[in-house]
Structure formats: C-alpha cells, structure tokens
Amino acid sequence: MFTIPTDCRYTKTHEWVRLDDDGAFTIGITDHAQELLGDVVFVELPNVDAELRAGDEAGVIESVKAASDLYAPLAGQIIAVNELLDEQPDLINQDAYGGGWIFRMKALSPDDWQDLLDASDYQQLISGED
C-alpha cells in the first residue's frame, strides 16, 4: 500500500503538491511514482525563476532503467529547488513527501490547486492502473 497524505493535492502524472504557510507550493513525486521508477539516480532540476505553464516540463527523474519527465502542476514561477538531490537523488526513494521534495513554486492563480486531484481521487487513479 502506498502512502498518500491527505494534506496534498495530486496530478495524473504523479506529482504531489502541498500548499505551504507562505502561500507557495512544494512539489515532489508520489510514493507510488518512486516505487514504479525504482532507485532514482539523477534528477534534472528546473531553473529557479523559470516561469512555467501548467503541464510544462519542469525536469527529469532518472532511475537506472527509466527516465520520467516532471511536469509543473500549476502555472507560475519556480522559487526554489532541492539542491540536495544533486548529491542524494535517493532522497526521493527514502522520503518522497519530505526530504525528497523537488521544487517550490509561486502560482499565478493559487486557487487552481483546489482543482487538482485529492488523496482519494489519486488513490482511485492508481488502483485503476494495475
């Protein structure tokens, strides 16, 4: 069984999105996604200050035998990236929702967050995948 925290919202492409106290969002990939990928060996992070539309490519996550694109869940600007991942990409495997966060962004219209999948929708999505 995969962990799916209820305080996050989710995308169909398996990113989680958390609304932080400062109004910005933190993004990573879900426990389910990291399990599918296997041992993560490299993360290509987006550039800080980059302005992205929802659905734009924001980076790449590589395991030994797969490479998976990372997409911006919301339109907005990148304000921080998790530079620890350069040296320790396996943080994504160990702590997908915590130390394995990938980037933070400021959304153009923060309300869009509400339209993403909630935990139960996401649960349904991945149970239908099998």
Q: Is 30 within 8 Å of 10 (Cβ atoms)?
A: yes
The reply on whether position 62 binds other proteins by CB under 8 A is: yes
- Residue in this structure with the two tokens 């989680």, named with its chain if needed: 16
Q: How far apart are CA 37 and CA 5, in angstroms?
A: 20
The reply on whether position 51 binds other proteins by CB under 8 A is: no
**Interface with other proteins (CB under 8 A), residue from 11, 26, 63, 82:** 63
SS3 84: helix
* Nearer to other proteins (CB atom), residue 17 or residue 52: 52
The reply on whether position 112 binds other proteins by CB under 8 A is: no
Q: How far is the CB of 93 from other proteins (least distance, A)?
A: 10
**Interface with other proteins (CB under 8 A), residue from 20, 22, 65, 111:** 65
Site string for other proteins, 22-41 (x = CB under 8 A): -----------------x-x
The residue among 81, 87, 101, 83 whose CA lies nearest residue 34 is 101
**Interface with other proteins (CB under 8 A), residue from 55, 66, 118, 120:** 66
Query: Exposed, middle or buried: residue 64 (CB in 10 Å: 0-12, 13-18, 19+)?
Result: exposed
**Interface with other proteins (CB under 8 A), residue from 53, 64, 86, 109:** 64
Please report how many Cα atoms fall inside a 13 Å half-sphere around the Cα of residue 119, on the Cβ side. Answer: 9
Residues that bind other proteins (CB under 8 A): 39, 41-42, 60, 62-67, 69, 89-90
